Chains A and B, each alone.
Chain A
Amino acid sequence: MPDMTKDQSIKDAGVDVAVTVDETPANPVAESTGKPRGLWGDAWFDLRHRPMFWISASLLALLLVIAAFPGLFTGADPRAGDLTNHYLQKPELGHFFQADWFGYDVQGRSIYARVIYGTRASILVGVGVTVAITIVGGLLGLLSGYFGGWLDAIISRVTDIFFGLPFLLGTMVVLNAFAERKVYVVIAALAFLGWTSICRVMRASVITAKQADYVTAARALGAGTGRMLFRHVLPNALAPTIVVATIALGGFISAEATLSYLGLGLADPTISWGIDIASGSEEIRNNVHVLLFPAGMLSLTVFAFIMLGDAVRDALDPKLR
C-alpha cells in the first residue's frame, strides 16, 4: 500500500470526525460530490482500494450463500450413509460438485455434502457470537466509560474477573454442563466469556470521545443523556470496537470447531466441520481426505474473516498497522 494514502487517511480521520458528527455516520457513499469525507466514508474509500478486501469479501459472499442455501451446491444428503458401497471411498477430483468429489467418510457419507452443509453452523456461531459480544460488551463499555464513578468501578471489576478466566477453558467448562448442545447454546457459552475485550476497547474510546469539544457543546445545547450517548459519543467511539469485533469473528469460528472437535461443542445431528475433523483424525494415516476437506474449508473460512478483519482495521485505524 502506498504511504500517501495512509497519511492522508490519518489526517482526514483526525480532521473530519469533528465536522461530520451530525451526518448519518453509516452512509459510506459521500465522496464523489467533492465535500470532505467523514471517518466512515474515508474508511470505505480506503477499503475499496484494497485487493485484500475484495478477495475476502467475495469469499465471504460465497460462504454466506452456501450457508443460506446449501441445497444449491449439492444434491447429496449429508446425513445419508452407505457403508456397503461408499465406505471410505477415495475422492474423485474430476467430478466437480458431485457427491463423490471429496470422497466418503467412515460412515459412507458424502464428504462434499457434509462440507457444504457444515458451513451454516460455523457462520452462525461466528456471526452470532460477534453480534452478541458487540451488543453486550459494547453497551457495558459505553455505560462504564460515559458515566464513570461507581458504575464504571463495578463493570470494570466484573470485566477483570471474566478476563482472568482463560477463554477456551471457560467455554469448555460451561458447555460441558449441557447435554444437548445446539447452535444457540454454543453461541451463548462463547459470548458469555468473550465480551471482555470489546467492553474494554469501547470503554477506552468512549472516555476519549466524551472529552471532545463537540460533546461539551451538545451538552451545553441541552442534549439529553440518550441523545448524547447514541448520537454524539457512540458513533465516534465505534471504530476500534468494530475492528476488534471483525478480527475476533474468525477466532470464534475457530473456537467452535475446536470445541466440537473435542466433543464439547456442537454434536450430531448438527453438521459441524469440527466433528468431521475429529472423526477424520483417526483415519489420517491411510485416508487423508476425510480430514483434509473439512479442515481446508474451515481454514478457508477463518482465513476469509481474518483477512476482512485486517482490511477493516487498516481502513479504520491506519495507525495500528
Chain B
Amino acid sequence: MGRYVARRLLQMIPVFIGTTLLIFLMVHILPGDPIRAMWGDKAADPAQVEALRHKFGLDQSLPMQYINYMKDLFQLDFGETFGGRPVWDEMSRAFPVTIRLTIVAMAIEMVVGLSLGAWAGLKAGKAPDTGVLIFTLVVISIPVFILGYVARFIFADTLHWVAPNVEDSMDITQLFLPGFVLAMLSMAYVARLTRTTFAENLRADYMRTALAKGLPRRRIVGVHLLRNSLIPVVTFLGTDVGGFIGGAVVTEGIFNVQGVGNLLYRALQQREGSTIVGVVTVFVLIILVINLIVDLLYAVLDPRIRYA
C-alpha cells in the first residue's frame, strides 16, 4: 500500500509539471499583452510599460519565467496580482468558499443521484426507470447557467425561500441553492451510472447467493448491491471534480459567491496571468490527489483489489 502510494506520487510529478507548463504557456504565449491592456484604449508610456514588465518578470524569456515561477511555487509564493497583493492571500480567502460549495454540491449529488439511480435500477424497464431516464435527459440538456437563473427565479424571486445573492460566502446554509445548481448536471450522470450498474448487478451471482442465504432485502440492496455498484460512481466523481471547477465560475457568478470561480473570472478579464496560473495549478494538484484517493477507495469498496 505504502509503496503503491509512493509510486503514484512519483508518477504525478511529470503530469503536474506538464499541466502547469501547458497552462503557463497558454497564458503567456497567446496573443494579447496584459500590461499594455491596463491602459485600455489610451496611449501608454513605453518606459512605464517596460518598468511594469520588469517588475512582473515578463521581460525574461519564457523558459526562465517558468523556472522562476516553479522555484517560487515550492516556497508557496504564487507571485503578486497587478494590484500588488500576493496571489496566495487572494486564494486562501477564495478556496475555503469554493471547497464548501463543492462539498455541498457533492453531498447533494451523491444523495439524490444515488437514490434516483438505485430506484430506477431496481425497477428497470418500469415506469420509475423511464421517468428517471427522461428527467436526467432534461437536466443534462439544460446548461448550468440557465439552471442557475431558473433556480434563482423560482426559489429567490418568486417563492422568497432564499436571498437571491449570497451575503456571507462562508455560511454553508446560504450555499445550498448554488450548490444544488452546481450539482444538477453531475447528479444526472450519477443517477444514470447507478441505474446501469444496479440493473446489471441485480443479476450477479452474489445477489442470488445472498437471497438464497435468506438475507433480508434491505441488507441485500443496501450492502451487497450498493457497495458493488459504487465503484463506477466513485470513479466518475473523481474525474468530475474538474467539471465542478468550470461550473463554479458560472454558479458563483450568478449567486455572487466570493469563491475561486469569481476570483478566476476577474483575473481572466484583467488578464492577470499570475492569478490564473496560480488558481489552475492548485486545481490540477487537487484533481491529482483526488484521483489518487479514488484509486485507493477501490480497495475499500472491493476487497479483491489489493495494492502491493
Contact = CB atoms under 8 A, between A and B. Distances in A.
A302 B141 contact: yes
Interface stretch (B2-10, B238-246, B295-303): B238-246
B143 A167 contact: no
Interface stretch (A12-20, A28-36, A175-183): A175-183
Interface string A166-204: 111110111011110000000000000000000000000
Interface residues of B, number: 47
Given A177-B31, A177-B32, A320-B196, A160 B18 contact: yes
A174 B30 contact: yes
A161 B242 CA distance: 13
Contacts of A310: 137
Contacts of B66: none
A263 B253 CA distance: 12
Interface residues of A, number: 46
B196 A321 contact: yes
Given A164-B288, A178-B30, A262-B253, A169 B264 contact: yes
Query: Is chain A's interface secondary structure helix, strand, loop, or mixed overall?
Result: helix
B140 A306 contact: yes
Given A161-B18, A161-B22, A306-B140, A173 B265 contact: no
A284 interface: yes
Contacts of A321: 196
A178 B31 contact: yes
Contacts of A258: 143-145, 246, 250
B149 A167 contact: no
Contacts, number: 133
A169 B250 contact: no
A166 B245 contact: yes
B146 A298 contact: yes
Given A166-B242, A303-B137, A261 B145 contact: yes
Contacts of B243: 166-168
B153 interface: yes
B283 interface: yes
Contacts of B280: 165-166, 169-170, 173
18 contacts: A160-B18, A164-B16, A164-B287, A165-B23, A168-B243, A168-B246, A169-B245, A173-B280, A177-B26, A177-B27, A177-B30, A178-B32, A179-B31, A285-B157, A291-B149, A302-B143, A303-B138, A310-B137
Q: Name the 3 nearest CB pairs between A and B, nearest first.
A: A168-B246, A177-B30, A303-B141
Interface of A: 1, 3, 157-158, 160-162, 164-170, 172-174, 176-179, 250, 254, 257-258, 261-264, 277, 281, 284-285, 288, 291, 295, 298-300, 302-303, 306-307, 310, 320-321
